[in-house]
C-alpha cells in the first residue's frame, strides 16, 4: 500500500508517486486525497458539498465555484457519482452534482494499490482451441464498447480514452502474435480471409457473435449500436452505415442478415444476426457439415410438384384494408427478437428461429389473395414454393393420397437441401378444405375423405409459413379451420381503394385529355386485376393513334368490355399500389 500512503502523507501532493498518472491539477488532486482519506476511514459514499467545503471552506460560497474541478476528475474516471449512475455527466446540473454522492472508482483504487494501470498480459502462446481465441476477441469487443461509451462523455484526448485505447492496442497486438504461432485452423480467421473482411467489418461480426454466445437479443444488434463501435464521430457514423446497408460485403455474401422490426413510432428498425450456417460452423467447428447448401431455384428443376416464385413486391406495395394490414403486420412481428425471446420464455415457441404461421386467405377471385401471399413472403425475405391444389386429383385410386404426402415431403426435402424455409403457397385449396362426405358413400367420396385426412394430419405437423387460398370459406371443414392460426378475408376494393389503385396504375409519362377525372374511373366497381387489364387494353388502343392521348372514352369503352365479358364473378387476379 506504499502508493496509497504516499498519496495521503506526501506534503507536496505534486511529488506523490501517482500524481503524474492522474493528469489533473493540484486542486483536483487535493479533492481526490480527501475523498480517499474518507474512504480509508470507512466512509465509502461522500457528499460533494461536504468534501468541497472541507477543502475550500464556505466563505463566499467557495465550494460552488469548485464544482467544475469535480466534473473534471469524474471525466477522468477517478470518481463515480453514485446517485447519478444511470445518467451521463452532462444530463444533470451543477447544483444537482453539488448535492450528489461520490465514491472512488475501481480504476482509481487500482492505481493507488499498484502504482500504475498497465494491463499485464500472459505470455504469447498458440491458441489451443477456438474458445481461447473467442475469449480474447470478446474482451476486445468489450474494450470497444467501453471506448464508445466513454466517448459520449469526454473529449478525444482525455486520459480515460487513452488508457482504454492503450489496452486495446496491447490486446490486438497479443491476438495477432498468438495467431502467428497457432498452427491449427481458426475458423473465424479463415472466414475473415475468405471474404476479405476489413477491420471494421470484423469488429461488427465479432460483436454479433458475442451476442449469440451471451444469449442477448437487443444489446448489440441494432444498427446504431454496431456502427458506434467502429465510429469516432458523427461523420464516421454516417460513412460507416454503408457497412450494414444492402449491397454491403457482410450482407451480400450472406455472412450476416437482419430482421426488420416495427418501432413504437411506426417506423422500421433493423436487428442484425449471423447467418445460421456460419454460426453453426463457428460454434461447432469439429462437427462435419451435413450436406452442401444448394440454391432453391436450382432444386426446383429436379421435381414436378412446385412452381418456384421469387416475389417482386412487398406488403407496402399492396392496396389492402387497414384491418388486413394490421393482421399481417402482427405476423411480421414474429421475427422481432424481443417478441421471439418472450414467446420462448413463455413456452409458446420452441427453439426454432424461423416464423411459424398457417394462414387462410379467403374471398372472391381478383381480390389480391395470391399477390398478398407473395408480398408477405417478400417482406419476410422469403422465396415461394407454389402448388396449385386443383392438380392434386388423380384418376388412379390411391394416387391422390400419395400426392398429398408428396407435397409436404418434397417441401421438407427442398428446405433441407437449400437450408432455407420458403413460404409454402397452396393456391385454390378448396379441394382439400371443403367438408368431408359422410361414411358409407361412394368410393370416390372415401378417397376424397382419405385425402383430406392426410392433408389435415400434414397441416397439424407443419413447421414454417404456409398460406392457403380459397374462394369459398363457407365450404371449409371446421376441422381444417381450427388448424389455421389466421383466417383473413378479402373483399373487392372500395371507392377509396380504387382511386388509389388507378393513381398508382396510370403511367406518369402519358398524356391525358383535359379534365381527365380518376374518380370517374373509380366509380366502376372493378377489382385491382381488372384495372390492370383495362389499363393494358386502353394503352394498346391509344398507342395506335396519331396523337396518343388518353381519354375518358378510351377507358370507359374498355371497362364496359371487361365487365360484360367477365364470367360470373370478376376474375382478374391481384392488385397493387
Q: What is the DSSP string of 418-463?
A: HT---EEEEESTHHHHBPPPPTT--HHHHHHHHHHHHHHHHHHH--
| Enclosing H/E stretch for 549 | strand 549-550
Check the CA dihedral 20-26-30-32 and report its sign. Answer: negative
Q: Which CATH class is domain 495-565?
A: mainly alpha
- Rounded to whole angstroms, how far apart are CA atoms 376 and 309? 13
pLDDT of res. 7: 92
- CA distance from start to end of the chain: 75
- Which of 301, 280, 276 is CA-nearest to residue 289? 280
Query: In the numeric block, which cell numbers belong to residue 236?
Result: 464516421
Instruction: Give long-range contacts, CB 8 A cutoff, 24+ apart: 406-413.
Output: 406/305, 407/305, 407/458, 408/458, 408/462, 410/303, 410/305, 410/306, 411/306, 411/385
pLDDT of res. 155: 43
Distances 77 to 1, 105, 415, 524 between C-alpha atoms, Å: 21, 7, 53, 72
Check the CA dihedral 36-37-40-42 and report its sign. Answer: negative
Determine how β-strand 423-427 pairs with β-strand 465-470.
parallel
**DSSP code for 344:** H
- Rounded to whole angstroms, how far apart are CA atoms 576 and 511? 22
pLDDT per residue of the chain (577 residues) written in tens, 0 to 9: 889 999 999 989 999 999 988 889 999 999 999 999 999 998 888 888 888 988 888 888 888 888 888 888 887 778 887 554 434 445 567 787 888 888 888 888 888 988 876 655 556 789 988 888 999 999 999 888 888 776 655 444 444 566 677 788 888 888 999 999 999 889 999 999 999 999 999 999 999 998 888 765 456 678 888 898 888 778 888 999 999 888 889 988 889 988 766 554 455 667 888 888 888 888 877 664 444 556 787 788 777 788 899 888 888 888 888 888 888 888 787 666 667 667 777 777 665 666 788 999 988 877 888 889 999 988 888 899 998 877 776 545 567 777 888 889 999 988 888 888 899 999 888 777 766 555 545 666 777 778 888 888 888 889 889 999 888 766 677 777 778 888 888 888 889 988 988 988 899 889 999 989 999 999 998 888 788 889 999 999 999 998 999 999 999 999 988 887 654 444 433 444 4
- Rounded to whole angstroms, how far apart are CA atoms 125 and 121? 11
Determine how β-strand 384-388 pairs with β-strand 307-309.
antiparallel
Per the CB < 8 A criterion, the answer to whether 171 and 140 are in contact is: yes
Residue 462 CB neighbour total at 10 angstroms: 16
What's the topology of domain 296-489? Rossmann fold (3.40.50)
- Which of 550, 548, 494 is CA-nearest to residue 319? 494
Alpha helices in 289-386 (DSSP H): 296-300, 322-332, 337-345, 369-379
- Rounded to whole angstroms, how far apart are CA atoms 364 and 367? 6
Query: In the numeric block, which cell numbers belong to residue 463?
Result: 413447421
pLDDT of res. 294: 66
- Taking the CA atoms of residue 437, residue 438, residue 441 and residue 444 in that order, the dihedral angle to the nearest 10 degrees is 20
Per the CB < 8 A criterion, the answer to whether 428 and 390 are in contact is: yes
- Rounded to whole angstroms, how far apart are CA atoms 13 and 33? 9
Alpha helices in 493-549 (DSSP H): 495-505, 518-522, 528-543
Per the CB < 8 A criterion, the answer to whether 69 and 27 are in contact is: yes
- Rounded to whole angstroms, how far apart are CA atoms 220 and 208? 7
Q: Write a three-state SS string for 229-280.
A: HCCCCHHHHHHHHHHHCCCCHHHHCCCEEEEEEECCCCCEEEEEEECHHHHH
Query: In the numeric block, which cell numbers belong to residue 347?
Result: 413456452
Helix, strand, coil shares of the chain, percent, nearest 5, are 55, 10, 35
- Taking the CA atoms of residue 156, residue 160, residue 163 and residue 169 in that order, the dihedral angle to the nearest 10 degrees is -50
Q: Find where cell 464556505 sits.
A: 58
Per the CB < 8 A criterion, the answer to whether 325 and 435 are in contact is: no
Domain boundaries, the chain: 2-114, 130-283, 296-489, 495-565
Amino acid at each position: 500500500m506504499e502508493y496509497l500512503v504516499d498519496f495521503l502523507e506526501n506534503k507536496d501532493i505534486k511529488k506523490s508517486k501517482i500524481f503524474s498518472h492522474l493528469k489533473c491539477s493540484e486542486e483536483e488532486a487535493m479533492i481526490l486525497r480527501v475523498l480517499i482519506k474518507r474512504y480509508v476511514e470507512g466512509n465509502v459514499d461522500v457528499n460533494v458539498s461536504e468534501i468541497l467545503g472541507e477543502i475550500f471552506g464556505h466563505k463566499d460560497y467557495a465550494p460552488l465555484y469548485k464544482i467544475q474541478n469535480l466534473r473534471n476528475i469524474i471525466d477522468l474516471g477517478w470518481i463515480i457519482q453514485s446517485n447519478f449512475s444511470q445518467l451521463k455527466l452532462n444530463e444533470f446540473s451543477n447544483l444537482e452534482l453539488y448535492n450528489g454522492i461520490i465514491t472512488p472508482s475501481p480504476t482509481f483504487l487500482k492505481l493507488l494499490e499498484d502504482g500504475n494501470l498497465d494491463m499485464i498480459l500472459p505470455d504469447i502462446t498458440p491458441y489451443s482451441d477456438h474458445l481461447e481465441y473467442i475469449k480474447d476477441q470478446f474482451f476486445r469487443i468489450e474494450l470497444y464498447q467501453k471506448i464508445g461509451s466513454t466517448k459520449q462523455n469526454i473529449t478525444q484526448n482525455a486520459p480515460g480514452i487513452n488508457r482504454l485505447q492503450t489496452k486495446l492496442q496491447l490486446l490486438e497486438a497479443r491476438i495477432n502474435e498468438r495467431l502467428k504461432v497457432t498452427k491449427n485452423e481458426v475458423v473465424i480467421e479463415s472466414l475473415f480471409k475468405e471474404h476479405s473482411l476489413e477491420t471494421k467489418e470484423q469488429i461488427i461480426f465479432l460483436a454479433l457473435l458475442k451476442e449469440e454466445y451471451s444469449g442477448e437479443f437487443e444489446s448489440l444488434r441494432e444498427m446504431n449500436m454496431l456502427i458506434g463501435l467502429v465510429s469516432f464521430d458523427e461523420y464516421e457514423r454516417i460513412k460507416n452505415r454503408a457497412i450494414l446497408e444492402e449491397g454491403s460485403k457482410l450482407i451480400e455474401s450472406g455472412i450476416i442478415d437482419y430482421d426488420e422490426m416495427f418501432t413504437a413510432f411506426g417506423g422500421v428498425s433493423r436487428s442484425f444476426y449471423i447467418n445460421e450456417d456460419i454460426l453453426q460452423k463457428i460454434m461447432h467447428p469439429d462437427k462435419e457439415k451435413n450436406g452442401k447448401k444448394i440454391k432453391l431455384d436450382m432444386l426446383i428443376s429436379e421435381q414436378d410438384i412446385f412452381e418456384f416464385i421469387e416475389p417482386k413486391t412487398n406488403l407496402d406495395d399492396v392496396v389492402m384494408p387497414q384491418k388486413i394490414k394490421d393482421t399481417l403486420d402482427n405476423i411480421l412481428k414474429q421475427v422481432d427478437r424481443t417478441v421471439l425471446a418472450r414467446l420462448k420464455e413463455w413456452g409458446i415457441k420452441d427453439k426454432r428461429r424461423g416464423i411459424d404461421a398457417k394462414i387462410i386467405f379467403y374471398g372472391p377471385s381478383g381480390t389480391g389473395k395470391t399477390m398478398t401471399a407473395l408480398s408477405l413472403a417478400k417482406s419476410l425475405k422469403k422465396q415461394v414454393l407454389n402448388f396449385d391444389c386443383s392438380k392434386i386429383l388423380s384418376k388412379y385410386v390411391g394416387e391422390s393420397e400419395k400426392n398429398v404426402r408428396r407435397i409436404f415431403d418434397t417441401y421438407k426435402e427442398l428446405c433441407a437441401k437449400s437450408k432455407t424455409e420458403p413460404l409454402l403457397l397452396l393456391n385454390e385449396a378448396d379441394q382439400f378444405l371443403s367438408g368431408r362426405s359422410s361414411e358409407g358413400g361412394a368410393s370416390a367420396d372415401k378417397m376424397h375423405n382419405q385425402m383430406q385426412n392426410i392433408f389435415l394430419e400434414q397441416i397439424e405437423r407443419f413447421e414454417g409459413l404456409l398460406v392457403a387460398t380459397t374462394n369459398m370459406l363457407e365450404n371449409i371443414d371446421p376441422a381444417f379451420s381450427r388448424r389455421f392460426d389466421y383466417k383473413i378475408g378479402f373483399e373487392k376494393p372500395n371507392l377509396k381503394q380504387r382511386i388509389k389503385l388507378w393513381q398508382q396504375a396510370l403511367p406518369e409519362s402519358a398524356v391525358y385529355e383535359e379534365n381527365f377525372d380518376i374518380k370517374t374511373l373509380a366509380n366502376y366497381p372493378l377489382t385491382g386485376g381488372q384495372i390492370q387489364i383495362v389499363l393494358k387494353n386502353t394503352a394498346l388502343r391509344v398507342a395506335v393513334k396519331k396523337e396518343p392521348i388518353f381519354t375518358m372514352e378510351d377507358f370507359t369503352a374498355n371497362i364496359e368490355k371487361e365487365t360484360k365479358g367477365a364470367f360470373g364473378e370478376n376474375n382478374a387476379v391481384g392488385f397493387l399500389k
